Amino acid sequence: MANTDSDADVLPLTDERWRAILANDAAYDGQFCYAVRTTGIFCRPSCKSRPPNAGNVRLFRSAEEALSESFRPCKRCRPTGRRLPDDEWIASVAAYIDSRFTEPLSLERLAEAAHGSPYHLHRTFKKVMGMTPVEYIQRKRVKLARKLLRETGLPVAEVGLRAGWANTPYFVTLFKKMTGVTPAAYRERQKLDSR
């Protein structure tokens, strides 16, 4: 299990350390912490989050080292011993959604990526953002769908797919609920308004 980082001062991901991460072994807490490149979050070896892909793991001797490399502390295991402020945590969740809203996203998947519980994430997201994570995702998708309807001639079903909905009737229903018109009517209105 070799670490692919080229920096000489990087702590290598040995088989022993990898086993400690997989086993959530608290005996290794304080010896190192690990960061996951794809999420930008770092954890204690004992963190109960889903095991990361070994290729995305980077090890640090301390939480301070991970922080200096712009990784954020896990909300679940709190490797710094301090709690991340809710607004910072939710900003990182919103950024995660912004980069993936066209993919299938569930509250469970978001909570896993953010290293928190689904219930706590839902409640905190609504408190900070004024809407639930699902509502935020739906707004992002509708915004993209409106852009695609204005700027392309794609069929409505394809617009829905590209915006993140696999189910066309659900896309049409939700689009109408959020905009007051169906996707087809929205497109027609945009054509008339541009003349």
User: In a structure prediction context, what are the per-residue pLDDT tens digits for the chain, which is 195 residues long?
Assistant: 544 444 445 789 999 999 999 998 888 888 999 999 998 999 999 888 888 999 999 999 999 999 999 999 988 888 887 767 888 889 989 999 999 999 999 999 998 888 788 999 999 999 999 999 999 999 999 999 999 999 999 999 999 999 999 999 999 999 999 999 999 999 999 888 877
Among candidate residues 43, 47, 74, 77, the one labeled active-site is 43
34 forms bridges with which residues in the sheet?
A: 43, 59
| Fold of the domain spanning 15-73 | DNA Methylphosphotriester Repair Domain (3.40.10)
Asked about 43 being catalytic, the answer comes back as yes
Listed residue (139, 140, 138, 83) closest to 115, CA to CA: 83
- Note whether 2 and 8 are within 8 A (CB): no
- CA angle, corner 190, sides to 145 and 183, nearest 5? 40
Same fold, 15-73 and 86-133: no
CATH number of this structure's domain 86-133 = 1.10.10.60
Instruction: Collapse the DSSP code of 85 into the 3-class scheme (helix H, G, I; strand E, B; otherwise coil) and give the result.
Output: coil
| Rounded (10°) CA dihedral 130, 71, 75, 129 | 0
For the chain, the domains span: 15-73, 86-133, 135-193
Q: What is the pTM of this model?
A: 0.65
Cα 56 versus chain centre, distance: 15
CATH number of this structure's domain 135-193 = 1.10.10.60
Taking CA atoms, 53 is separated from 17, 21, 22, 58, 114, in Å, by 14, 11, 10, 11, 16
